[in-house]
């Protein structure tokens, strides 16, 4: 027991002080991945068994609900098609570049961090699938977090609710930009340094601003739940609720950078004195392993 305690203390100290322990942790994650899959087998078998034992009436009711949901989503898609076409025309009038769709791959939850003060999870995609550190992770409702560690077959994700996580956001209604930080609770986020006179209200949707270059712009993150104005204080206290189902989602999307976009051929943009006039600037290249997966376009929430 004493030897185990000493070894554990030495490993914790090395993990805290030495940067090379990241590689060791990645290798250990690769070794532990089969065990994580094995632990998930009972829940998968239970889900399969409950589905197999479902009676016909429950399946018919579920089918009816799904049909109604498909009809509702089809109506929204028709409305979004007209808005997309109008947006394209306005961008053409303004001479703005068209937005690129972000490729993605799907992932499934393997495990959650048991520490109540760490909001992290492990998913079943890793380096072999092109996953990289800093990659955005979403569920069906909004932004979940970002990848912080990658092994061959699995990856660790830091959720937006973690107290150490922060990202730039903007108010979808008026474009005001702020910093959103986790509070250590799944149902609460904090909007930092909001001037007391800022136009932010309860119910406002906060979306990614894209300013940090890590998260694509326009993805929903949280909705403002409380705005407290304290007389005599320069900043208001603003709280928000994540729109992603952090405690219930099991399936996720991992976004990749969009396709390379060439810089417009304009002398005012030219910083290379050796480039000949009329020669286009090379496109920005996406790193290897970050271009695969199915392609989808996430709708911007209103």
Six-digit token pair at 176? Answer: 């005001």
What tens-digit pLDDT sequence spans the chain (302 residues)?
Answer: 888 888 888 877 777 777 667 777 777 777 777 887 888 888 888 877 777 776 677 777 888 888 888 878 887 787 777 777 778 778 777 776 666 778 899 999 999 988 888 999 999 999 999 999 999 999 989 999 999 999 999 999 999 999 999 999 999 999 999 999 999 999 999 999 999 999 999 999 999 998 888 899 989 999 999 999 988 888 999 999 999 999 999 999 999 987 654 444 444 334 444 444 444 334 333 344 443 444 333 333 33
Closest by alpha carbon to 159, among 227, 237, 248, 236? 248
Residue 262 has a pLDDT of: 44
What are the distances in angstroms from CA 139 to CA 104, 136, 142, 144, 185? 12, 10, 6, 6, 18
Residue 283 has a pLDDT of: 38
Distance CA 57, CA 59 (A): 5
Q: Does the pTM of the predicted model rise above 0.75?
A: no
Q: What is the DSSP string of 209-263?
A: --TTSSS-TT-EEEEEEEEE--TT-SEEEEEEEESS-TTT--EEEEE------PP
């Amino acid at each position: 027991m004493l030897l185990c305690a000493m070894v554990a203390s030495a490993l914790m100290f090395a993990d805290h002080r030495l940067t090379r322990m990241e590689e060791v942790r990645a290798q250990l994650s690769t070794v532990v991945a089969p065990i994580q899959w094995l632990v998930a087998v009972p829940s998968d078998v239970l889900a399969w068994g409950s589905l197999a034992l479902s009676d016909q009436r429950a399946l018919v009711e579920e089918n009816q609900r799904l049909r109604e949901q498909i009809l509702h989503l089809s109506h929204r898609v028709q409305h979004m098609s007209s808005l997309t076409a109008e947006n394209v025309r306005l961008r053409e009038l303004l001479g703005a570049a068209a937005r690129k769709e972000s490729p993605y791959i799907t992932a499934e939850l393997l495990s959650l961090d048991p520490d109540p003060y760490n909001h992290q999870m492990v998913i079943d995609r890793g380096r072999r699938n092109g996953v990289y550190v800093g990659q955005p992770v979403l569920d069906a409702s909004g932004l979940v977090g970002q990848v912080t560690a990658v092994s061959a077959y699995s990856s660790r994700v830091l959720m937006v609710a973690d107290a150490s996580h922060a990202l730039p956001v903007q108010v979808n209604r008026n474009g005001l930009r702020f910093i959103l930080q986790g509070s250590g609770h799944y149902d609460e986020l904090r909007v930092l340094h909001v001037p007391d006179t800022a136009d932010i209200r309860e119910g406002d949707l906060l979306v990614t601003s894209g300013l940090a270059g890590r998260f694509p712009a326009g993805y929903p993150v949280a909705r403002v739940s409380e705005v407290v104005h304290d007389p005599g204080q320069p900043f208001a206290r603003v709280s928000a609720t994540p729109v992603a189902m952090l405690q219930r989602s099991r399936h996720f999307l991992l976004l990749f950078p969009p396709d390379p976009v060439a810089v417009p051929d304009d002398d005012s943009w030219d910083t290379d004195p050796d480039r000949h006039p009329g020669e286009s600037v090379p496109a920005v290249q996406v790193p290897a392993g970050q271009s695969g997966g199915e392609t989808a376009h996430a709708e911007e929430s209103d």
